[in-house]
């Protein structure tokens, strides 16, 4: 099982801050494709990605017990 954390607008849109899913052996990109389709999270593909509290790329392969976080871009003034 993989823990998936969402922040800011992604969390608000999904209505949850955390979900778990079977994704061992999948890449981050595959998880993004799956969840964009399932939960209509269009900005997910632009979010910064962290796996186990370290920044990661979309090519990172996930393992059981990993935690992946999606942090959307923010702006301010």
pTM over 0.75: yes
> Which tens digit of pLDDT belongs to each residue from 18-67?
999 999 999 999 998 888 778 888 778 788 999 999 999 999 999 999 99
* Owning domain of residue 16: 2-71
Rounded to an integer, what distance in angstroms lies between the CA atom of residue 33 and that of residue 45?
Answer: 8
CATH of the domain at 64: 3.10.20.30
First-last CA distance in the chain = 39
The total of other beta-carbon atoms located within 10 Å of residue 31's CB is: 21
For residue 28, is it within any domain?
yes
What's the number of domains the chain is made of?
1
For residue 76, is it within any domain?
no
């Amino acid at each position: 099982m993989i823990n998936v954390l969402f922040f800011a607008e992604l969390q608000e849109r999904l209505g949850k801050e955390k979900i778990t899913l079977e994704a061992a052996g999948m890449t981050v990109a595959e998880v993004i494709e799956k969840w964009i389709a399932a939960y209509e999270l269009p900005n997910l593909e632009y979010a910064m990605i962290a796996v186990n509290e370290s920044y990661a790329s979309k090519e990172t392969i996930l393992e059981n017990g990993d935690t992946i976080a999606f942090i959307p871009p923010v702006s301010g003034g």
